[in-house]
Amino acid sequence: MSHTTEILLALFVILLAAKLGAELFERLRQPPVVGEILAGVIIGPSMLGLVAPSEFISLLAEIGVIFLLFTVGLGTKPSTIFRVGKTALMVAVLGVVLPLVGGWLLMRIWGATNIRALFVGTALVATSVGITARVLSWLGLVNTIVARIILGAAVIDDILGLLVLSVVASSSTGEINYLKIGTTALLAVAFTAFVALIGARVITRLSPRIETLRIGESPFIVGVVLCLGLAAAVSFIGVAAIIGAFLAGMAMAEASEGNTRVHIQTNAVMEFVVPFFLVNIGMQLQLSVFRDSSLVGLAVAVTLVALATKLIGCGAGAWTLGVKKAAQVGVGMMPRGEVGIVVAQIGLSLTVIDDRLYAVVLFMAVATTLIAPPLLGVLFKEEAAVQNRALEQSASD
């Protein structure tokens, strides 16, 4: 079989399995993301072995999550995020400190070296906001105050996570270059603020001229170009590419408001590429390592600490909103998904963690990602019902 045939077959199998999983979970009234990730577990190396993770699929997965965050950004005006800025900052900071300390402490008790314990703590830090964003848009609740806090906190969380990773990774190899890390932090914050503040205004002003371009579907294409450009730019600074995609979406939010065609178009691309992101997370799971029963205990313990520290840390940050909303924020920040996997891969490549600990972190990343969506479904049941009634009302009017 030629290489092209293999790749086409893999794309077909992944997309088909993901959509079957999503359909099944929709019928069970459960979040379809869970079905798509489980489809990855089933077709991946740990079970059927139909498809193996590859560089091409990882890159498609990256494009998938970039489009997901771009689409979420398109529905989020910068001003709505700024309004919840203080709460989001509190949520992010407490949601970084508690998992880091919690993960480190657990590993130290388990008997790991300091640097190993720090690395596991670091893997617990960053939230995979894509998963929560996907669940919230499935529930039709992207425009609630809780969703905005989660999105804002996730941006800050990612920048903080990057700094923690820089410090921990460089301390494992030798000297820590505080100047370089400080510059990265400053650049990340300045870039984010610049795009959110200035970028949106520039795009809104240029919007009528974008419409007059002769190329097909110009508003959509300009959006995609901007999305890739900012994703590349923030990735160059060292921040996750999805932050750039989210910023690009936010910058275009006002200009594309009411442009149904652009929303249909980005949604179509998203439905096509996001499954690669979700299935790729599921495919990473390595169940074979868990024949060692002592590792199973550790994996469960790390996962419980990962869930509890985000719930308590982020919940405490959003405490002023009341218990229920605080719980929603805490659960929304739980999934570690691809971010946890990336940290584990870096740890493995630096030989700070071994294959077995790598499998433990991967288990935590996939498990937190599978557990959060159904919990979100329960916690947001009331709001989703209200939203549904409002939609039915407006449809019958």
Stretch that binds its own copies, among 152-160, 175-183, 226-234, 354-362 (CB under 8 A): 226-234
Question: Which SS3 state, helix, strand or coil, does residue 350 take?
Answer: coil
The contact mask relative to its own copies for 123-152 (x = CB under 8 A, - = no) is: ------------------------------
| Residues in contact with 222: Cβ distance below 8 Å, sequence separation at least 6, in sequence order | 210, 213
Non-local (6+) Cβ contacts of 250 within 8 A are 73, 74, 76, 77, 78, 81, 195, 196, 200
CB-nearer residue toward its own copies: 178 or 236: 236
Residue count at the site for its own copies (CB under 8 A)? Answer: 48
In terms of CB distance, is 39 or 359 closer to its own copies? Answer: 39
The DSSP call for residue 359 is H
Instruction: Give which of 150, 136, 134 is closest to 22, Cα–Cα.
Output: 134
Say whether residue 48 binds its own copies (CB under 8 A).
Answer: no
Q: Is 158 in the site for its own copies (CB under 8 A)?
A: no
Q: Cα separations (Å) of 62 from 35, 148, 196, 228, 386?
A: 19, 23, 22, 11, 34
Near its own copies by CB under 8 A: residue from 179, 215, 378, 395: 215
Radius of gyration of the chain (CA): 21
Cβ proximity to its own copies, 269 vs 312, nearer residue: 269
CA 239 to CA 242: how far, in whole Å? Answer: 8
Residue where the block lists tokens 């993770």: 53
Question: Which range touches its own copies (CB under 8 A), out of 95-103, 153-161, 196-204, 220-228?
Answer: 220-228
Q: Residues 240-279 vs its own copies: string with x where CB under 8 A?
A: -x-------------------x--xxxxxx-xx-------
Query: Judged by CB under 8 A, does residue 229 bind its own copies?
Result: yes
For 75, residues 6+ apart whose C-beta sits below 8 A from its C-beta are 137, 142, 143, 249, 253
**What does the block give as tokens for 75?**
């529905």
Q: Is 8 in the site for its own copies (CB under 8 A)?
A: yes
Q: Which residues contact 23 (CB under 8 A, 6 or more apart)?
A: 32, 35
Determine if 297 is a binding residue for its own copies (CB under 8 A).
no
Q: Which of 191, 220, 358, 363 is the binder for its own copies (CB under 8 A)?
A: 220
CB-facing half-sphere around the CA of 288: CA atoms within 13 A? 9
Task: Name the segment binding its own copies (CB under 8 A); options: 51-59, 144-152, 284-292, 375-383.
Answer: 51-59
Q: Which is nearer to its own copies, 10 or 361 (CB)?
A: 10
| Least Cβ distance, residue 265 to its own copies (angstroms) | 4
Q: Determine the Cα angle at 257 with ends 252 and 258, to 5°.
A: 150
Judged by CB, which is closer to its own copies: 247, or 302?
247
Q: How far is CA 265 from CA 62, 152, 218, 274, in A?
A: 19, 25, 11, 14
Q: Which of 32, 313, 340, 347 binds its own copies (CB under 8 A)?
A: 32
Q: Which residue has the tokens 């652009």?
A: 262
Shortest reach from residue 233's CB to its own copies, in Å? 9
Regarding 217 and contact with its own copies (CB under 8 A), the answer is yes
Interface contacts to its own copies, rule CB under 8 A: 1-2, 4-5, 7-9, 11-12, 15-16, 19, 22-23, 26-27, 32, 55-56, 59, 62-63, 66, 213-217, 220-221, 224-225, 228-229, 231-232, 235-236, 241, 261, 264-269, 271-272
